Structure 1
Amino acid sequence: MSFSQLLSILVARIRILAWVFFLTVITTTVISFMLPKTYTATTSLVINSKGADPVTGFMLPPASMAGYMATQVDIIQSRNVALKVVDKLGVVNSPIARSQFEKSTKGEGNITDWYADQFLQNLDVKPSRESSVIEISYQGADPKFSAMLANAFAEAYINTNLQLKIEPAKQAALWFDQEIKGLRQNVELSQERLSAYQKEHGIASSDDRLDIETARLNELSNQLVMAQAQTYDSNSRHSQLKRGVESEAPEVLANPLIQGLKSQLAQADAKLTDLSQHLGQNHPQYQAAQEEVNNLRHLIASETAKTSSSVGQSARVSQQKEAEVRTSLAAQKEHVLKFKSQRDEMAVLLREAESAQRIYDNALQRFGQTNMESKSVQTDVSVLNPAVPPLKHSSPKIFINILLSIILGALLAVGIAIVAEVLDRRVRTAEDLMQMLDLPVLADINQSVKKPGNLAGSIGQFFKKVKFNKRDISKYQLLAK
């Protein structure tokens, strides 16, 4: 169908077009004025998706804005939030609400769930594309009720958001409370083992006994070195005394008593020699001098023997002392090694006690944090703009409805005109003759030649208004031949 055919059909069916168009527009306008008015109240919320934790002070990782906002929208539209709204409004206690519920459901089901579903049907939640703002809109017949519902959903969402935040903290605090009892027992048991070990071995946790014992070991080592040197020196002198003449030994020569006795002996010998020149051997003075010399020599020999014996005794004492020091050194080494082993075992017990204490302290700290979080009233949602009763209704939108009815009426009128033409096909143009009868069109006579008047004038007008189709004339001539 060409545009000229469509235009001719529309001109021919102008009455149908007018009736359908005006009927559609008038019907839409009347219905728009008759529809009940609804009011939409909107509450704006700000979502803080990142920042510092109000309890611990730790910086929270930034959340994915798209996924986070979508999650918050789903939470607002959840049944959990709607049930909180129903409970807040006290719908269950309202006789009017109960009668409406029984009338709609015939008493079947739960009134709370039914009203939660009804509220969700009129709820609209829109997150902002480039910000952290969420708009909660509720549509109802009463502007005050719509504003109240929008604010109620915002408040219920904030409470739900806080509940979702503190419920895990409550569970964690309960778990920490149970675990802390076992950790406290571990700390007490490790401390008891450490104290019992220290008491058994006489070790204080902060004493310097190991340093004292080590210093004593070093002192015994030095004493052993000195005793060994003294023993070597004593043995050397004793051996030298045995190999040589005792009177020429250094100890004998260094003995002042022996040297004094030797001086007296020299004097006595000189006296005896002088007496021997004047007196005989039987003379009492000679015999007295002789006896004095013999006594001095006996004393010198006795003192020399004593000195020699003292050198040997000193060597034996040095050896004995060296043996005692060596024994004490070995015992001290064993004692130090044993003490080090005890300190190592105590260090293990001390580390176990410190580890148990550290774990207990960390658990106690986390318990304190989670306990505070479970009692927190801080939330990351704030009301930016609370809903107020709207002054103008949001629907029906009469101007938009009329504009749409004009467009729809025009399309519907054209469609009905075409359907009517299809059901009752008429010849409107030359193209219709060619398509329907398959006949060539020689000329198209304008309607203005049908006007009555002078025949000559009419003929003249006819030839002026006739539009000849040269292509069809040539076809007709060929057919005539």
Structure 2
Amino acid sequence: MLDRPVESRPPSEKRPTLRTPAPIASPIEPEGMTVAALLAALRRRRWVLILCALLFPVAAFVAAKQLTPRYTSSATVMFEPTDYAARELQSILRDETTTDAVLASQIEVIRSLSVARRLVRQYNLTNDDEFFWWAGESKRAESLRYRWSEALAQRLNAISPSLAELVAPEPIPPRPPEERAEIAAAEAVRDKMKVEVVRNSRVLTISFTSEKPQLATDIANTAADLYIADQLEAKFNAVRRANDWLDSRVGQLRRELGQTENRIAEIRSASGLTRGVSAALSTEQVSKINTDLVEARNMLAQAEARLNAGRGGAGGGADMTALGSSNLVQQRAARDQARSELGRLSATLGPNHPDVRAAQSRLSDLERSVGSETGRVVQALDASAREARARVRSLEESLRLQEARVNQSQSAEIQVAALEREAEASRTLLRAVLERSQQTVAQTAIEKADARVLSPATLPGSPSFPKTMLMVVAAAVLGTLFGLLIIWFLEQADSTLRSGDEIRAGLGLPCLALVPMLRRGLLGRHRVEDYVVRKPLSPFAESMRTLRAALWLGSEPPRVVVITAARPGEGKTTTSVALARSAAMNGERVLLIDCDVRQPSLGRVFRCEGAPGVTDLLLGQAVLERIIRRDHLSSLDYIPAGAAEIHSLGLFMSEAMAGLLDRVRRDYDLIVLDAPPALAMADARVVARLADATLLCVRWRDTPRSVVRNSLGLLEEAHARVVGAALTQVDAKVHGRSGYADAEVYHPRYGGYFRE
């Protein structure tokens, strides 16, 4: 097949022309999470979802069984406030409109501390560890563990007090005072009691939760009974207070009415008023006295005028005739005549004449007579004036007394009228209060509470906590959500490549083939490298044909193909051997060269370890015809790696390597180079630069995407023509259920095309 050795080839002074590398396509940005992608992810990781959806309910069920069950019993009460007819009681027992505030107040009344304390006393809850913490502490002292710890501490106390203190159990605290214990238990009762208003109604639901179903039922019913009894007692007390107040008011009104009537009688008695007699008589008497007084005053004026006239008349200047004294008038006339006579005699006879003296004597007698008569008249006038004055004073005093009596009578009548009006008002109020008192007494006889029990609490048949089924269902939902979250996290954290779509989206390379993984049960006694020959109609052999077709169908079908990977264990050697054998079985002339000098694999595959190979040829220690070997299962020719050489990079960069490839390119249709991993070994990049095409092997769901990208970047920097990638060691069953588009090839409908 090869008729010329490498040494017979015409010498060349130049290095062979290297192929221009094909540009690597930019990675395709993946689409958002679609429904199909989500379903595919759920299908791939369904066991995670199933495990979470099962573990959470199981854990919830186990936890629910470990919890102490609690039972809730409920009683319903209808709040029906009654009306009161007595208006006086509205300030004491006022019927308020049933509002949310009123119902909220009723709730607080039921949950009040006084009701809770009565419940504690009735059921002796201070000795129940569910309601009073000290009861549980006292029971702890009776436990076996406490006694053992206490006994051990006592024995260790003689040896080491500090160690005994560590071992000794926590001491039981002393019991609090009864008052504090009762309040603490009442607070616990309030916490376990729940009172709610049924929506859009006046129905109150009283619920109580306890570890003992009978106790929960009893306390719920007792709380409802205490609420109703307290309401009724409050009403009775209020009505009783109202009755007492009304009775006291009746007594007070009666006393006030009696005092008013007594006062009226006293005023009538003191003022001389007689019920039904008119005051006209007193007025007529006052008028008569006034008339008499006017006449008396006129007579007094006349008497005083006469007296004054009489006194003036004594001097000779008054007309005594007007005074009614005729003797005095005559005597005055005689005196005047005697005086005239004396004047005439004195003028004619002289003062010492006897006639004159007789006339003077007669005049003196007459004057004495006139003075004596005048004194008598004046005394009579004076007595008459005094009499008139006394009469006026008497009438004035009578008038004053009568007027005072009249005024007193009028004031008494006014007071009596006011007191009679007050007495009438008191009588009216007394009648009203007596009427209300009778109504209140009747109200007491028919009084009822503002609430009634609609349905009493019954013994609960199942615990209200824990709700095992609800907890299991909630845990299942939570487990499902948690499973979805884990799946999302695993999907986001999984940076491996799982399908051809991800190869194209993440690396910008076409996925040329999906190489299935061959399990031990499927291989039997065959080796993986021999499977393509032993089972030519298997899916594994078909993937190799697919890979060969993808290489051949390109725009420039390559002859020299480098198969490499990002890191060891990617299946590159298996792919190289299987691809080469598959192509050879198709009638092509194929040469397989092991370029992984540091960890050669073809010697192990073809059982030719230690045979000369490519390193010996490149070092000039062997000829090409002596190192080419024939596969015993196919028409494949192969060249092993040869002797290990730490300076293999220089050998691959030499002209001998380029000349080797030029020589075999003329004699073979396909040359497959098994190169070392591209990420850590520089040999792979040099060999890839010399080849026509480079195929990158990526292990399915194992190699991180960043590692592959890094390797691809190194190959790009080496100007290698990376034509595509192959996913190796694909689990056909798992990938077939993954939901990816290229998983269709593993569908059972294609089973007729393959033979395992």
Aligned CA-pair RMSD: 5.1
Separation in structure 1 between the aligned mates of residue 87 and residue 409 of structure 2, nearest angstrom:
49
Write the letter of the residue equivalent to 2:277: R
- Equivalent residue, structure 2, for 1:88: 122
TM-score (norm. length: structure 1): 0.58
Question: What secondary structure does 2:508 align onto?
Answer: coil
Separation in structure 2 between the aligned mates of residue 194 and residue 404 of structure 1, nearest angstrom:
90
Structure 1 residue 411 displacement after superposition: 0.6
Give a deviation string over 1:415-459, Cα, whole Å, max 9, x none: 223334445533345675577x5x435468677899224589747
Matches within 5 A, 1:193-208: 193-203=263-273, 207-208=275-276
Separation in structure 2 between the aligned mates of residue 174 and residue 103 of structure 1, nearest angstrom:
52
Write the letter of the residue equivalent to 2:69: K
CA contact (8 A) 1:190 1:353 kept: yes
Question: What secondary structure does 1:389 align onto?
Answer: coil
CA contact (8 A) 2:72 2:216 kept: yes
Write the letter of the residue equivalent to 2:101: G
Question: What secondary structure does 2:459 align onto?
Answer: coil
Matches within 5 A, 1:208-287: 208-210=276-278, 213-214=279-280
- Equivalent residue, structure 1, for 2:199: 129
Separation in structure 1 between the aligned mates of residue 57 and residue 251 of structure 2, nearest angstrom:
79
Separation in structure 2 between the aligned mates of residue 190 and residue 396 of structure 1, nearest angstrom:
77
Matches within 5 A, 1:68-467: 68-91=102-125, 100=135, 103=138, 106=173, 107-108=175-176, 110-165=180-235, 186-187=256-257, 189-203=259-273, 207-210=275-278, 213-214=279-280, 339-355=409-425, 378-428=448-498, 439-442=507-510, 451-453=539-541, 458=546
Question: What secondary structure does 2:478 align onto?
Answer: helix
Write the letter of the residue equivalent to 1:20: C
Matched, 1:51 2:119: no
Shift in CA distance, 14/189, structure 1 to aligned 2, threshold 3 Å: same
Alignment length (residue pairs): 358
Gaps of 5+ in 2: 1-31, 140-171, 288-397, 517-536, 552-720, 723-756
Structure 1 residue 32 displacement after superposition: 3.0
Gaps of 5+ in 1: 222-327, 464-478
CA contact (8 A) 1:16 1:413 kept: yes
Write the letter of the residue equivalent to 2:123: L
Give a deviation string over 1:22-62, Cα, whole Å, max 9, x none: 21121122333443333222111111134345998989655
CA contact (8 A) 1:430 1:441 kept: no
Aligned-pair identity (%): 21
Of residues 62, 83, 87, the one that matches 1:30 is: 62
Give a deviation string over 1:293-340, Cα, whole Å, max 9, x none: xxxxxxxxxxxxxxxxxxxxxxxxxxxxxxxxxxx9x99999777644
Shift in CA distance, 5/373, structure 1 to aligned 2, threshold 3 Å: same
Separation in structure 2 between the aligned mates of residue 419 and residue 185 of structure 1, nearest angstrom:
94
CA contact (8 A) 2:131 2:189 kept: no
CA contact (8 A) 1:50 1:62 kept: no
- Equivalent residue, structure 2, for 1:236: none
Separation in structure 1 between the aligned mates of residue 86 and residue 137 of structure 2, nearest angstrom:
47
CA contact (8 A) 1:124 1:137 kept: yes
Structure 1 residue 410 displacement after superposition: 0.6
Larger radius of gyration: 2
The higher relative CO (CA closer than 8 Å, separation ≥ 6) is in: 1
Shift in CA distance, 331/450, structure 1 to aligned 2, threshold 3 Å: farther
Of residues 51, 58, 64, the one that matches 1:19 is: 51
TM-score (norm. length: structure 2): 0.39
Separation in structure 2 between the aligned mates of residue 444 and residue 377 of structure 1, nearest angstrom:
97
Structure with the larger helix share: 1
